[in-house]
Structure 1
């Protein structure tokens, strides 16, 4: 009997995306768009690490201060959104910054399989560089530039984050500019109050850091999952720099692309595709004493690497015309007998109910999906082939000194919908 294995894989299709709109205006009628991409590929060196890896190039804060972001598990992007003051700032006027620092859900979907998953995102930091109409020394009358920036605001310079925002250690200044970045543990206003008259000022870009909670990729099919979330950029909206500031864009849309690239590979040892069914201990008992065997069988091992759901089924050269299994046949006489095929899978792979897979019957109808709990890398499984006693007697009685043969194709299929 010949054993063949065939593995089917889904194809990954890449999506194209449009770049961020770069035009700014003091009227918030445009929308800024940014793609955020994350990838899952199983890692044989870390089979328990089943997470997406962010693949969006850092810009802004995390590009300049990568160690800070690695330490805090953050990623950042810089958006071309400008905030302009709508009138001069008088002493005690405030710039109040709020971002969506709480977790928000969105749905990502795979257009090929129609599968959907829920993920979460939150904005974990905000920053920019503001530009003053005049040097800070001129506005405050303080000749020392650092002290001028510190005295320009009632609650010190912008390196010091007002609560509930948190300090990030970032502060870089010029005569009339100041770069800052604050961590945002929640969605709440963080306020700076002017201590002097400022004729005008603007924030030239918007830096945001973000955190993601992605779905378990082991429960997702291979392919591209996409989804979007849109934030308002208006006074008392999701992103807000306070009533004194007018944004150049009215909204921010984050387009998420989760790329799932699973592994499903089965290796059968050399010669393992030729399965010889025999009694336990061989045919000696039959040849020497006429003792009938109670069954014919063979266990064939294979190595499997799997990070995705998959099903198994059989394709048969011969069958008995009833039931779901395959058969072996004497090609001259036409006599045939059923061959029961079952599978045992290694630790880490379970049935659809989460139970270990031990001698699960296979047939021409696909099984319910097997599910990896971890990435299984080249772990041994077993195909069990057996002719039961009823058919063993039938085959022996009708052998006529001719062999029984049949091709059984075992299919491991990752196209699970």
Structure 2
């Protein structure tokens, strides 16, 4: 009899960090606002159709509150850049830079890297729109200084105004999906000074294929410059702009936590070895069986990579496990252990995971699949082969046993 144990391991590695504070006396430089965009991939075995990252960034900006249902329905995700300032606007009906004007940058590719620095992937980041809220600083202008018509070059996503505090807000949405450089503006109906109390952008993420990523945290960053005419800014707010900050650092955090599940039938903690077809040939005719074996079925679900390793109660020098005679002093019998996982393959060699020999001396193979595998029938095969069977049968009535641990590590 073999007692064996399936073990699954999920590890999260935290690297120690040394923080060093360096103080420098220098001339004033551009400051930066920091914003954070997060997304998770946590597939559910009971909901296998969910195979994409889910945006987990907290709502901020114009999509919070009154407009949130509209943003959800249209899949608009706004984020407040934390950039604040003033705008000196001039009455002009020419979609010009002196009024409500926002120039937006083209799409970017941002590289995100795992915490250990070993794995990197590209993330697509498209600015698909932007919004600004302006407040009449002295409250002496019209309640609606911006044109209520459509902007040039863009569509109008959201709008509102308040006569009470002379506030106007507009969200522009690009028509090109965020591919090229574009500038959008409204006609402006009042010459006045305005506080810019909010500047947001709306974005679209094109995330990497998560099934190819190992479990863990991936981070990256890109920086946008915000400014006025002639400043070479990524977000150009036109003429008469003065800002508290002019840089926005956008930090990305992708968290991958692959699904992994072993499902074992009752009695899977014991593997009783016997000849194929039973003991009749030996008991009735004295024919020594070629092997004593047992196959144990189980099902495996996985959305990522995992490794498999072996531990033995009685390890042999060649890496195999052994079972020992618990009745008399006799030679231990070596076990041949093979693993078959249909649909999986070795990540390094591409070899199918069929009849993979497990030993304590092997480099644990990292196995993967090309899709999210759900409850795939799999099996472990235990066998004592050849001369070792003859040796065991020389001690009739004996009891052989040993513990074997097969370890599945879901974060190899």
Where on the TM-score scale, by shorter chain, does this alignment land: which range? 0.7 to 0.9
Contact kept, 8 Å, 1:161 with 1:190, in 2: the verdict is: no
Match of 2:390 in 1: 393
Aligned: 1:380 with 2:382:
no
Match of 2:102 in 1: 97
Contact kept, 8 Å, 1:6 with 1:412, in 2: the verdict is: yes
How far apart are 1:89 and its partner, in Å?
5.5
Match of 1:20 in 2: none
Match of 1:359 in 2: 355
Question: Which whole-Å deviations, capped at 9, do the CAs of 1:329-361 have from their partners, x for residues lacking one?
Answer: 3353341332111112254x4332555432222
Contact kept, 8 Å, 1:13 with 1:223, in 2: the verdict is: no
Where 2:366 maps in the other structure, the secondary structure is coil
Match of 1:312 in 2: 308
Contact kept, 8 Å, 1:306 with 1:375, in 2: the verdict is: yes
Residues of 2 paired with 1:29 and 1:99: CA distance?
20
Judged with a 3 Å threshold, the aligned counterparts in structure 2 of structure 1 residues 37 and 46 are, in CA distance, closer, same or farther, namely same
**1:206 aligned to 195, 199, 223, which one?**
199
Contact kept, 8 Å, 1:308 with 1:372, in 2: the verdict is: yes
Aligned: 1:117 with 2:117:
no
Where 1:280 maps in the other structure, the secondary structure is coil
Question: Which whole-Å deviations, capped at 9, do the CAs of 1:369-388 have from their partners, x for residues lacking one?
Answer: 11143434444321111222
Match of 2:21 in 1: none
How far apart are 1:294 and its partner, in Å?
1.7
Match of 2:19 in 1: none
Aligned: 1:131 with 2:132:
no
Aligned: 1:219 with 2:216:
no
Question: Which whole-Å deviations, capped at 9, do the CAs of 1:236-276 have from their partners, x for residues lacking one?
Answer: 31111123323321101112222222333323323211111
Where 1:405 maps in the other structure, the secondary structure is strand
Larger deviation, residues 222-231 vs 284-293: 222-231
Question: Which whole-Å deviations, capped at 9, do the CAs of 1:126-163 have from their partners, x for residues lacking one?
Answer: 11222346779x66xxxxx7xxx5xx67xx53x51311
Match of 1:405 in 2: 401
How far apart are 1:3 and its partner, in Å?
0.9
Contact kept, 8 Å, 1:318 with 1:328, in 2: the verdict is: yes
Aligned: 1:37 with 2:27:
no
Match of 1:24 in 2: none
Match of 1:160 in 2: 150
Contact kept, 8 Å, 1:32 with 1:81, in 2: the verdict is: yes
How far apart are 1:366 and its partner, in Å?
3.9
Larger deviation, residues 76-85 vs 35-44: 76-85
How far apart are 1:393 and its partner, in Å?
3.3
Normalised TM-score (structure 1): 0.81
Aligned: 1:329 with 2:297:
no
Match of 2:338 in 1: 342
What is the total number of aligned residue pairs between the two structures?
Answer: 385
Match of 1:288 in 2: 284
**1:174 aligned to 145, 159, 162, which one?**
162
Match of 2:81 in 1: 79
Give the gaps of 5 or more residues in structure 1.
16-26, 140-144
Question: Which whole-Å deviations, capped at 9, do the CAs of 1:157-201 have from their partners, x for residues lacking one?
Answer: 3x51311x2232x22123433211111233423243656561333
Give the gaps of 5 or more residues in structure 2.
17-27
How far apart are 1:284 and its partner, in Å?
1.1
Where 1:391 maps in the other structure, the secondary structure is helix
